[in-house]
Amino acid sequence: MKKRILIYALVLASLILASAACGATATPTVLPPIPTRAQSAPVAAPTVLPTQPAAAPTVAPATATRPPATATAAPQPAATAVPTKAPTASPLPAGDPRDAILKAMKTQMGGKSYRVRQTSESSSGKTQSIVEFVPPDRYHITTNVGTNTTEMIIAGKKAYQKIGDKWLDFPVDVGSFIQALTSAASEEAGKGISDVKLVGPDVLDGVPTLVYTYNSKAKFGDIETSSSIKLWVAVSDGLPRKMIVEGEAMGIKSTTTQLIEYDPSIKIEAPI
């Protein structure tokens, strides 16, 4: 039982800390649209070559009376295409990039349902999980550790675990643990962020994004964490779409990759 609780704690802790490491207490910075890569280079206007005049017909020697020849119209010069103006690339957002990532995290925590596909690798092994979240306090977590798969639903302070094909009450108040961890993360939000840099534009699965890197340090009780984070933020809505977190906690180093998708159709209800 303790091992299972530890697995859930690590999975949710990595999810919440990675998401909340940026914080959510900064003045918003508006991110202007940027062009996709296909628009970044000017397009040369096509050149239309003039039409060559047809060769004059050869007149055969007269052996009989022929009708007068029909006059041939002189060839007209071909129209020249008007060059089109290449699109102008939008400038990168001005201002402090730290404000931009704080604003992205605040937007994410503002009430949207989302799904995180997460992979964590460390000296302890590889953990894969899918975490669905419906604000303010509902989670559906499926975790693969080695050959073991576990599934849990958290609805408020109640938690349920799937054993075989049946859902059972989970005897530990995981909901309170998550709320306490989230509260601690919010209090630490933004305090330990440093070396924030705007790397530049990128296209992630066809979505124009802006890429940021930064370092983060935080302390939750007796646990200290330090991380180097790379973050992709969608230009269209300012929401985080991908995170790569290289971190260390309790002497264990790990690399966690999160792919985030926003889906308003996600529903999470207590199974029993």
Average pLDDT, rounded, for the chain: 75
Range of the domain at 137: 2-28+94-262
pLDDT digit string (tens) for the chain, length 272 residues:
555 555 555 555 555 545 444 433 332 223 333 333 334 344 344 444 444 444 444 444 444 445 454 455 555 555 555 555 443 334 577 789 999 988 888 888 777 899 999 999 999 899 999 999 999 889 999 999 988 999 999 998 899 999 999 999 988 777 777 777 666 666 666 778 899 999 999 999 999 999 999 999 887 777 788 999 999 999 999 999 999 999 998 888 999 999 999 999 999 999 99
Does residue 51 lie in a domain region?
no
Q: Which residues contact 140 (CB under 8 A, 6 or more apart)?
A: 131, 132, 151, 152, 153, 268
Q: Do the domain assignments include residue 63? A: no
Is residue 233 in a domain? yes
Q: What is the DSSP letter of 36?
A: -
Is residue 45 in some structural domain?
A: no
Given a contact cutoff of 8 angstroms between Cβ atoms, the answer to whether 133 and 12 are in contact is: no
**What does the pLDDT read at residue 73?**
52
- Which CATH number goes with the domain that contains 176? 2.50.20.20
Q: Give how many domains the chain has, as a whole number.
A: 1
Whether 231 is in a domain gets the answer yes
Task: With respect to residue 71, please indicate whether it lies within any of the assigned structural domains.
Answer: no
62 lies in some domain: no
